[in-house]
Amino acid sequence: MKNYVYIGLLGLGTVGSGVVQLINDHQEELVHQVGCNVKVKSILVRELEKERNIQIGETYLTTDPNEVLRDPEIDIIVEVIGGIEETKKYIIEALEAKKHVVTANKDLIALYGPELQKMALDNQCDLFYEASVAGGIPILRGLADGFVSDRIQKLMGIVNGTTNYILTKMDEDGFSYEQALKEAQELGFAESDPTADVEGLDAARKMAILARLAFLTEVNLEDVEVSGISKVAVEDLNYGKKLGYTMKLIGLANFENQQLEVSVQPTFLSKSHPLASVKNEYNAIYVNGEAVGETMFYGPGAGSLPTATAIMSDVVAIMKNMRLQVNGNSFVGPRFERVLKSPDQRFGQYYFRLHLKDEVGAFSKITNLFNKLDISFEKILQTPLSKEDLAEIIIVTHKVSLEQFQTALMELSDLPVIKNVISYYRVEGDGK
């Protein structure tokens, strides 16, 4: 093996700077692990004259991607610029030039991961993307290697720190959604345009990647059912507390009888659930395996050095493969045909908040409807409202099919005694 492994870095923002810092500060550890030095030879940037807080030494800065992608001395391309279509072209060019690729780009991998993996395999190159999900948490390698002899049945994850921070502030400090979002933006946890985070799109991309690895089946981004947190009200969180729940934006993936279910939605968790204690900007992924049982991965889901740590774990893995001359052999393709569960095959508990006309026999009409649909109640709360002669009713069902839930929701809206169906959420675990 060569005395040096040269890296070409695409991007020198927050994460790219973290990669450079780790390579500079941890050179002795890297040499001990892989037997040679690691050097960033050149970096693609948007502005050459921009002032930076990172020491790059003799590393060459360029605005021309060809000077990085076509440099014959560069062994590994590390992509941290983001974006999709243009970045895809860069990665394809790198793989065609027989360069190994590490990327932190969840959007790209969620959309084009299988295609790029196939191209990497054809060119006997490694394509790794540990940093694309949950920042510094080593969940992808855990799924691919740590659970290789097990059958994973279920994944549940808090995989977006922005929404977890917002919900924590709403739940613990009584902030409105708007107040919590503003604070998250001021602290740098949320973008000026937070849509991808708060509407669940970011989490959906990550769940598609996780489900592919966990279940060895194709998962398309459009297979993930998505609902965000922008309409979550403090009133619902307060009712949740009374019932023993806390709310999180949960990515859920189930695989039973070779049939798949993947969703992202605000979910009430029992306070005894391991994910319920994950607060602020932290991420966690709960994995249920047939053999191992329940495990959980927890840690910072973003940030310069945590994400750079995940990237460097991929770089070290590639360098070890180079030493063993086994690059391009780690990709495992799908084992199972992609089959999505139908609504009558998907089961869960559900929370409803209703405004009911405060009149004799009104609640019996609800119970008659639920009995007709074979839905039973686990918990009920009733609070009178001072205006309009209404009562606020909270119902938590026992486990029912998604089909039963959707039918109940439609028929509740049509009942004359129901003024409004205010909100409804999935529930995981007993709130005790």
Helix (H) or strand (E) holding 377: strand 377-384
State how far the alpha carbon of 409 is from the alpha carbons of 264, 275, 376, 377, in Å: 19, 28, 14, 15
Centre a 10 Å sphere on the Cβ of residue 47 and count the other Cβ atoms it contains.
Answer: 10
Instruction: Record the tokens describing residue 82, joined without a space.
Output: 């983001």
3-state secondary structure of 158: strand
Q: Catalytic site residue 379?
A: no
The length of the chain in residues reads: 432
Of the residues 99, 169, 206, 419, only one is catalytic, namely 206
3-state secondary structure of 137: coil
Residues 6+ apart with CB under 8 A from 195: 201
Burial class (CB in 10 A: 0-12, 13-18, 19+), 292: middle
Distance CA 101, CA 321 (A): 13
Instruction: Record the tokens describing residue 369, joined without a space.
Output: 């409807």
Q: What is the DSSP letter of 45?
A: -
Distance CA 75, CA 64 (A): 18
Instruction: Record the tokens describing residue 354, joined without a space.
Output: 């209703």
Q: How many CA atoms lie within 13 Å of 44's alpha carbon, on the beta-carbon side? A: 21
Distance CA 137, CA 310 (A): 7
Centre a 10 Å sphere on the Cβ of residue 166 and count the other Cβ atoms it contains.
Answer: 31
Residues 6+ apart with CB under 8 A from 25: none
Distance CA 330, CA 18 (A): 26
Helices (runs of H) and strands (runs of E) counted in the chain: 14, 17
Active site amino acids: 206
